[in-house]
Amino acid sequence: MTTTWRHLPAPAREIAQAATEAVGAAQARDAGAYEPAVERLTAADRAGLVLGGVVRLLLEESHPDGLDGDDVRQVLERCVRSTAGWRPDVDPHVLLVLLASALGVYDPGDDDAPPDPAAIARHAPLLVADLLAATGRPLADYLTAAFTEVARTELQD
């Protein structure tokens, strides 16, 4: 079944479509399809926020009792190992920042500038694809939940 995302406003629809394409390409290890989808994600405002929500939801579902340092290390190592064969430019530091940000514990400090939006867009679909492999649920479920959380947060602010 294909999700059309017609019910979403245009900016959110663009994020959903680009994320779906990028994660699908990551799952298929299709570098040719991955690059244009990542470019779309990079250009989409707030894509990092939505994908961060997806990562958090996936982590919560795959680790219902919470995560410790060993769990984070295992997720990071598994993602890097499974990705490095077709994406040799995978940066473990960016993946770690994505994990820490999704968990709400990332603090760049004085000497550590956060990765730029292009680096986030290149790495988030890799992490999402890796985490999805453990759940057996479609990405659309997590995107819908992430959009709902973003909307709820915006209404509260």
pLDDT, tens digit, for every residue of 139-155? 999 999 999 988 888 78
> Within a domain: residue 32?
yes
Among the listed ranges 29-38, 49-58, 87-96, 103-112, which one has the minimum average pLDDT value? 103-112
The pLDDT assigned to 111 comes to: 63
Distance CA 37, CA 3 (A): 17
Number of domain units in the chain: 1
> Within a domain: residue 2?
no
The pLDDT assigned to 112 comes to: 75
* Cβ neighbours, 10 Å, residue 136: 6
Whether the model pTM is above 0.85: yes
Joined together, the tokens standing for residue 133 give 């492999």
- Percent of the chain past pLDDT 70, that is, above it, reads 96
Opening angle at CA 48, ends 71 and 136, nearest 5:
50
| Rg of the chain taking only CA atoms, in angstroms | 15
Mean pLDDT of 52-68: 93
Range of the domain at 129: 10-156
Distance CA 58, CA 127 (A): 10
Among the listed ranges 7-11, 67-71, 98-102, which one has the minimum average pLDDT value? 7-11
The pLDDT assigned to 125 comes to: 97
Cβ-Cβ contacts under 8 Å for 145 (sequence gap 6 or more): 53, 54, 57
